[in-house]
Amino acid sequence: MTRIAVVGGGRIGEALIAGLRESGTEPSDIVVVEAVQARADELAKKYNVLATGLDIGCEGADVIVVAVKPQDVPAVVDRIGDAISDSVHESIVVSLAAGVPTQVLENKLSAGSPVLRVMPNTAMLVGHGVSAVCKGRYARDEHLEQVVTIMESVGLVVVVSEAQMDAVTAISGSGPAYFFLLAEAMIDAGVERGLPRDVAVKLATGTALGAGAMLTGGGEGPAELRYNVSSPGGTTAAAIRTLEASGLRAAVADAVEAAASRSRSLAQAATSDDDDDENG
């Protein structure tokens, strides 16, 4: 059994714990380290897992998942490094943080420590997460396999290079929010057309579920599926023309560039913190 310590029990830490529990991971194989005591207690109760301090949480952990804000990663990994430096047990350190390069973590740990990055998304909560995994400098293939296996228990996994992580973050890390915004807009538009809100919610969310299943069904691609909805001279063609004229594609491209750019700047923030530590 792989013992997993999740450091940071916020939104993504909880999504991981929930997905792991749902997929059958034993509660005794999960430990959560969360700075806010009330939140730690909440997670411990909800998922029947141990909530503890960082030293005890890291002790004997096979995989230590860092799920704190990017800006907090250097300080937290510093403490993890202290906690595991004397251990004979090898721990893999996995960062979920947007932007932060593996090198920042490696610099805080004993020489040669295996570090990987994973960019997951909140759909882990329902077993349909999408995660991209990349190895740091000292991680070997068996470390990669171990992390891929964990993330596969909560959804789909792709292996990428670290250079691709900003783009991944902008597509699948932040991506659920883009679909949620579209769903909100559809619901509000339905209400504007006179539908009761609960009916509009059912229509929009059920349509999202069906469209998602068709998109991931392994059959036709998105353009082909869209053509099949668009009857000649019909309603869909009229709607799509309006969406295109409103600049939907350009808006999506700009949004993805904004997210990737923000990811790059989070890297700079974490790297400068790292430099400060090393210089001072």
Ligand X SMILES: O=C(O)[C@@H]1CCC=N1
Annotated binding site: 67-70
d(C-alpha 40, C-alpha 253), whole Å: 38
Interface with ligand X in residues 156-185 (CB under 6 A)? 169, 173-174
| Residue number, nearest CB to ligand X | 173
> Strand 155-159 and strand 63-66: pairing?
unpaired
Q: For 25, phi and psi rounded to 5 degrees?
A: -65, 130
Q: Report if residue 128 touches ligand NAI, rule: CB under 6 A.
A: no
Tell me the window of 9-17, 104-112, 138-146, 267-275 that interacts with ligand NAI (CB under 6 A).
Answer: 9-17
Which partner from the list ligand NAI, ligand X, none does 72 bind, CB cut-off 5 to 8 Å by kind? ligand NAI
Contact string 172-211 vs ligand NAI (x = CB under 6 A)? -x--------------------------------------
Q: For 183, phi and psi rounded to 5 degrees?
A: -60, -45
Rounded to 10 deg, the angle between the 235-245 and 248-279 helix axes is: 50
- Nearest distance in Å: CB 70, ligand NAI: 5
Tell me the window of 19-27, 62-70, 132-140, 160-168 that interacts with ligand NAI (CB under 6 A).
Answer: 62-70
Q: Report if residue 33 touches ligand NAI, rule: CB under 6 A.
A: yes
d(C-alpha 248, C-alpha 243), whole Å: 6
d(C-alpha 225, C-alpha 219), whole Å: 9
Token readout for 101 is: 């390069």
Token readout for 235 is: 């309603």
Under rule CB under 6 A, how many of the chain's residues touch ligand NAI? 26
Q: Smaller CB distance to ligand NAI: residue 50 or 225?
A: 50
Interface with ligand X in residues 85-104 (CB under 6 A)? 98
Q: For 104, phi and psi rounded to 5 degrees?
A: -60, -40
Tell me the window of 95-103, 180-188, 241-249, 270-278 that interacts with ligand NAI (CB under 6 A).
Answer: 95-103
Interface with ligand NAI in residues 148-177 (CB under 6 A)? 173
Q: Smaller CB distance to ligand NAI: residue 53 or 234?
A: 53
From the list 36, 27, 24, 38, the residue with the least C-alpha distance to 4 is 27
Q: Report if residue 27 touches ligand NAI, rule: CB under 6 A.
A: no
Which partner from the list ligand NAI, ligand X, none does 34 bind, CB cut-off 5 to 8 Å by kind? ligand NAI
Report the interface residues with ligand X, using CB under 6 A.
Answer: 98, 169, 173-174
Report the interface residues with ligand NAI, using CB under 6 A.
Answer: 7-13, 33-36, 39, 67-70, 72, 76, 96-98, 119-122, 173
